[in-house]
Amino acid sequence: MSNSYELRSDITTSQDLTAGALDYTTTIGRRFKLEQIIFRASVAITETITITLDSGNGASYDTVLRVKGLANEQNYVFIPEGQVNFQATDALRIQCTNANLTGTLYVTIKTAEVLQ
């Protein structure tokens, strides 16, 4: 049986990296498919982004989906290589270092609801 999907409203967050690192977790509360995450910085940054499926089954089941080192970059789009489906109890965690204390990072998360 194949699943069908319906695009959901975007989830957005931002962080002034001069004030602190980004550590953002969102729980949607129902099953969803991760479509993509768009990162845009106000200036070119050199930082590390980590994207994690924070499992509702506990930390032993968390899965790092991507660690991406940005080197003087302003934009990055993460598109999962395969289907990444989240259960209702799972969360999506996005982190970005602030080692260089420059700029604001804007994040847009695009998901689709799993209909069946």
Report pLDDT for 1: 45
Beta-bridge partners for 78: 37
Beta-bridge partners for 86: 32
Is 79 strand, coil or helix?
coil
Count Cβ atoms within 10 A of the Cβ of residue 69 and give its class: 0-12 exposed, 13-18 middle, 19 or more buried. exposed
CA angle 25/30/32 to nearest 5° reads 80
Report pLDDT for 59: 96
In the chain, the domains with their CATH numbers are 5-114 (2.60.120.230)
List b or e across 11-49, with b for residues whose CB sees 16 or more CB atoms inside 10 angstroms: beeebebeeeebebeeebeebbbbbebbbebeeebebeb
Report pLDDT for 83: 87
Extract the tokens encoding 101.
């204390």
Count Cβ atoms within 10 A of the Cβ of residue 115 and give its class: 0-12 exposed, 13-18 middle, 19 or more buried. exposed
pTM of the model as a whole: 0.92
pLDDT mean for each 10 residues of the chain (116 residues): 75 97 94 96 98 97 97 97 92 97 96 81
